[in-house]
């Protein structure tokens, strides 16, 4: 069990550029979550997948944000036309289908800095 | 909708002293409650969780929390603080309206002095 893997760990981009983050969940976990965390705040839920189905996306911050999980394994989070306010850490997490008490396991996050 | 309030954004204790981090929740359904710890530049690690049954929950690193329905609280405690406990602590509630996703509080930074 290698844990939830995220890359890149750090990304600096110019305003207006698109960025994509990748998340590889724990093997055989079929639920995958994306969160955003800004300085001094708790993680903010964005979206989640069960297998390849995106079951909740109404909390994505704007239509510039999109996520995919095409084969039910890894997932990508894309931010188009980045803005300075998008600077944050983006956390991915996963859980097994029958996780007791809905425990989810987090990766180490991907830091985004928009300049 | 579920929500979590963590009272005190910063708590400072001396090494060996009691740690008490406060968490109150709001939930329209019986909640699942969690405490996570985050060290600088890292992801979140589960400390403990309450689902059903015994209201006093023991977790890793000597932490425990008690679910008090009447007070809608889930405070985190540790009898004796260690320097390595210095970190950010987050309380979370499971939100059935968002599948199994967790809703987090704003966090409490714990500082431990020698």
Given pLDDT bands bounded at 50, 70 and 90, which one contains residue A100? low
Cβ separation B99–A56 shorter than 8 A: yes
Question: Is the CB of residue A50 less than 8 Å from the CB of residue A104?
Answer: no
Residue B95: pLDDT band (50, 70, 90) is low
Which DSSP symbol is given to A15? Answer: T
Confidence of residue B106 (pLDDT cuts 50, 70, 90): very high
pLDDT (0 to 100) of residue A2: 77
Percent of chain B with pLDDT over 90: 75
B27 touches chain A (CB under 8 A): no
Q: What is the pLDDT of residue A99?
A: 57
Interface of B with A in 61-90 (CB under 8 A): 90
Can you tell me the mean pLDDT for A87-115? 87
Q: Does residue A103 surpass a pLDDT of 80? A: no
pLDDT, position B31: 84
Work out the pLDDT band at A40, boundaries 50, 70, 90: confident
Residues of B in contact with A101 (CB under 8 A): 32, 34, 49-51, 94
pLDDT at A98: 59
d(CA B7, CA B49): 19
Count Cβ neighbours within 10 Å for each residue of B35-62 and write b for 16 or more, e otherwise. Answer: bbbbeeeebbebbbbbbeeeeebebeee
pLDDT tens by residue, B21-69: 999 999 877 788 999 999 987 889 999 999 888 899 999 999 999 999 9
B17 versus B42: the higher-pLDDT residue is B17
Q: What is the pLDDT of residue A60?
A: 82
Which of chain B's residues have a Cβ under 8 Å away from the Cβ of A45? Answer: 95, 98, 101-103
Residue A59 has pLDDT above 70, yes or no: yes
B8: left (phi over 0), alpha (psi -120 to 50) or beta: left
- Which chain A residue shows the shortest CA-CA distance from B38? A108
Q: Are strands A88-95 and A105-106 parallel, antiparallel or unpaired?
A: antiparallel
State CA A18 to chain mean position distance.
Answer: 15
State which of A60-64, A65-69, A96-100 shows the largest mean pLDDT.
A65-69
* Closest listed residue to residue A63, CA positions, set A47, A48, A76, A80: A80
Gap between the Cα atoms of A105 and A33, Å rounded: 10
Strands (E), chain A: 5-7, 10-13, 19-24, 31-37, 44-50, 53-56, 65-68, 75-79, 88-95, 105-106, 110-114
Give dist(CA B52, CA B36) in Å, integer.
18
pLDDT, position A21: 98
A71-85, A91-105, B1-15: segment of lowest average pLDDT: A91-105
Distance CA A52, CA A49 (A): 6
Q: How far is B94 from chain A (nearest CA, A)?
A: 7
């Amino acid at each position: 069990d290698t844990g939830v893997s995220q890359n890149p760990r750090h990304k600096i981009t110019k305003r207006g550029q698109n960025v994509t983050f990748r998340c590889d969940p724990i093997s055989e976990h079929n639920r995958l979550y994306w969160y955003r965390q800004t300085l001094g705040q708790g993680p903010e839920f964005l979206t989640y997948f069960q297998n390849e189905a995106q079951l909740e996306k109404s909390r994505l911050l704007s239509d510039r944000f999109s996520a995919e999980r095409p084969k039910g394994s890894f997932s990508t989070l894309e931010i188009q036309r980045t803005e300075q306010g998008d600077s944050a850490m983006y956390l991915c997490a996963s859980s097994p289908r029958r996780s007791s008490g809905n425990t989810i396991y987090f990766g180490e996050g991907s830091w985004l800095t928009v300049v | 909708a579920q929500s979590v309030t963590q009272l005190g954004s910063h708590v400072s204790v001396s090494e060996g002293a009691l740690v008490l981090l406060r968490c109150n929740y709001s939930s329209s359904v019986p909640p699942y409650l969690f405490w996570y710890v985050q060290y600088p530049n890292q992801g979140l690690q589960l400390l403990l969780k309450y689902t059903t049954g015994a209201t006093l929950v023991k977790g890793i690193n000597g932490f425990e929390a008690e679910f008090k329905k009447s007070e809608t609280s889930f405070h985190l405690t540790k009898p004796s603080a260690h320097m390595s406990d210095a970190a950010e602590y987050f309380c979370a509630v499971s939100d059935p309206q968002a599948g199994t996703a967790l809703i987090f509080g704003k966090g409490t930074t714990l500082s431990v002095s020698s």
